Structure 1
């Protein structure tokens, strides 16, 4: 399993939200590139970037911050938030992103996801964010009637590199991940699944690793900033 440190970008700053609420943001750094470099120096193998403003706007907003991170760090990075057309996908990959994450558009236009996954093998992931098992879109502002597992199954043979599954009610709440729902999703599809939302301790990572499903990795944000998870120790745990 891979540990993905999360860098959530709002107004050019590195923040963490509480349960996806934009008005409940805690600023952790005014220099996202420096924060990313700290994670890289501590031994991370990937970075997980989210353009929070972009998720609401439907187009990239924190591009300068993302480009700063890409210029500063050598480890691969994946980015979600406001990526909803082929031109934007291609532009980000050309700028050096290893992987784009498609969330809202996976619900609105699944054909685009399949087209992108075919055009850019291994570089397109699907972000599935759910409340009570139902997919939420538009920066989590709108909950659909689509079940997370049903959405995942739509992309079973599309060549999608990974699914990032986030339990919104766990995100930023430091209450532990939804291990059961994450494992159930990973067992329902052959696509690699990355757990997100609520990962706040080494015990959480142990629980995900031992969940009985072959998870690809886990994302953690607030716990790394608060010092509740030591990144180097977590990387060693998940590798062991």
Structure 2
């Protein structure tokens, strides 16, 4: 199981939100690229980037720090937030991004997901963010009646590289991941699932690894910044070094 350190970008800084609330942001680093280099130095295999402003604006906002990260690091990175048309997808991939994450458009324009996955095999992931089993869009600001498993299953034949499943109520709350819902989703689809939200300790990572379903990876943010998880130790424990 791959451990993805998260760098959430707001107003050019690396931050973490509490349960997805933009007005409850804690700034952890004024230089996101320097933060990325710290994670790379610790041995991470991937980086998980989120343009928080972009998720609300519907277009990229934090392009400069993302490009700085891509230029200074050699590990692959995936990015979500404000990627809602083919032009933006093509632009980010041309800049060296390994994978784009499509969230809101997966609900509003699923044909775009299919088109992008065909055009860029292995480079398109679907981000499914949910409260109480229902998908939320537009930076988690709007809740839909779409159920997580239904949305995931609708992309079974699309060729997407992964599903990144975030339990919004757990995100940034340091209360542990939603093991039951994550395992249920991973068992329901053949698409690789990456868990996100609430990973607050090494024990949480081990629990996800051993949840009874095969997960491609887990994303952690606040716990890495707070020191609750030592990235180097976690990678060793997961057998990733």
The answer for the alignment partner of 2:54 in structure 1 is: 54
What aligned pairs does 1:24-35 form with structure 2 within 5 A after superposition? 24-35=24-35
Structure 2 unaligned spans of 5+: none
What aligned pairs does 1:114-133 form with structure 2 within 5 A after superposition? 114-133=114-133
User: Under a length normalisation based on structure 1, what TM-score does the superposition of the two structures give?
Assistant: 0.99
State the alpha-carbon separation in 2 of the partners of residues 120 and 174 from structure 1: 35
What aligned pairs does 1:213-228 form with structure 2 within 5 A after superposition? 213-228=213-228
Instruction: Judge conservation of contact 1:2–1:239 (CA < 8 Å) in 2.
Output: no
Following TM superposition, by how much is the alpha carbon of 1:237 offset from its aligned partner in structure 2, in angstroms?
1.7
User: Under a length normalisation based on structure 2, what TM-score does the superposition of the two structures give?
Assistant: 0.99
The answer for the alignment partner of 1:93 in structure 2 is: 93
State the alpha-carbon separation in 2 of the partners of residues 195 and 21 from structure 1: 20
The answer for the alignment partner of 1:19 in structure 2 is: 19
The answer for the alignment partner of 1:141 in structure 2 is: 141
State the alpha-carbon separation in 2 of the partners of residues 59 and 152 from structure 1: 24
The answer for the alignment partner of 1:233 in structure 2 is: 233
State the alpha-carbon separation in 2 of the partners of residues 211 and 237 from structure 1: 16
Residue by residue, what CA displacement relative to the aligned partner does 1:104-137 show, whole Å, maximum 9, x if unpaired?
A: 0000000000000000000000000000000000
Task: Give aligned pairs, total.
Answer: 240
Counterpart of 2:214 in 1: which secondary structure? coil
Following TM superposition, by how much is the alpha carbon of 1:157 offset from its aligned partner in structure 2, in angstroms?
1.0
The answer for the alignment partner of 2:151 in structure 1 is: 151
Residue by residue, what CA displacement relative to the aligned partner does 1:46-104 show, whole Å, maximum 9, x if unpaired?
A: 00000000000000000000000001100000000000000000000000000000000
Instruction: Judge conservation of contact 1:208–1:215 (CA < 8 Å) in 2.
Output: yes
The answer for the alignment partner of 1:204 in structure 2 is: 204
User: Which structure 1 residue ranges, 4+ long, deviate > 2 Å from structure 2?
Assistant: none
Q: CA RMSD in A?
A: 0.6
The answer for the alignment partner of 2:72 in structure 1 is: 72
